Structure 1
Amino acid sequence: MVGPKQQASTGSGSSTNSRHGRVKCGCGVSAIVRVAKKGPNCGMQFLGCSSWPEYNCGFFRWVPENNAIEDLQFQVLEKDTTISELEYDKKLLEEKLKKVQLKKDNLEEDIHEMKNEVCELRIEVMRAIRNEKNYSMALMYSCLLFAFVLFYLK
């Protein structure tokens, strides 16, 4: 790996790559594309200070290879696609949530109505039980009265 203090040469000291011309080094000037001439990274491009070797600000960045750029572009495209799919799924889930919420509200209304009906039925049952007791008492008094009348008629 070529570090900031290792020597590398450039094809032209004043040349800049249009893709990297806006990258500034530590000096504040535009960095230039250089090519490593020695070592295991021989032939690889990197961005370096345009003032090197007179002044070394220590700026160093590898220039990605074209296929690396294409790979990165493909990865960005994949991420964008994934984001779009997730946004679509989110929209579908939000719509589904609205439907479920509406269904829940309707069921809560139904439960409230059923509770009211149960209360009304309890009241009716209590009235029926009271009426049954009243009728039983009336029947018993009627039987006693009938027995009393029969007893006096004999």
Structure 2
Amino acid sequence: MSSIYGSSSWGRRTESTGFSNQCYHRLFCGPRMVKNGSNTGRQFYGCALWPKEDCHYFQWVDEGNRPCKEDNRNDKEMLLEHLFSNRNEGQKALEEKIVRLKLKKKMVEAKNQEMQLLITKNLKS
């Protein structure tokens, strides 16, 4: 299957579960089990990096063989949301780095000007 990542195994169906069991980070996610609530004991696949960097991938193990169009649409929407979120976080980090570098540049220029004044003063003496 071709995906937004190009031709890859991500998102391909497998015979055993119906899905490749990779989250949107493109990492393998093994089955987990619900411990509380109305779905206690039910198995699911979730983001491999949860809870630190949750990409919100979710698939019930017992529903893996019959994904509906709505599930696929929701998966794609979540993937896009995750990608845009990462892009925005990266852009924000770069903007912060630019601010720090501009401040550092001003400090270096001020130090350079101070050194030039000292050199000029020493040459005159």
TM-score w.r.t. length of structure 2: 0.41
Task: Looking at secondary structure, tell me which structure has more strand per residue.
Answer: 2
Bigger radius of gyration among the two: 1
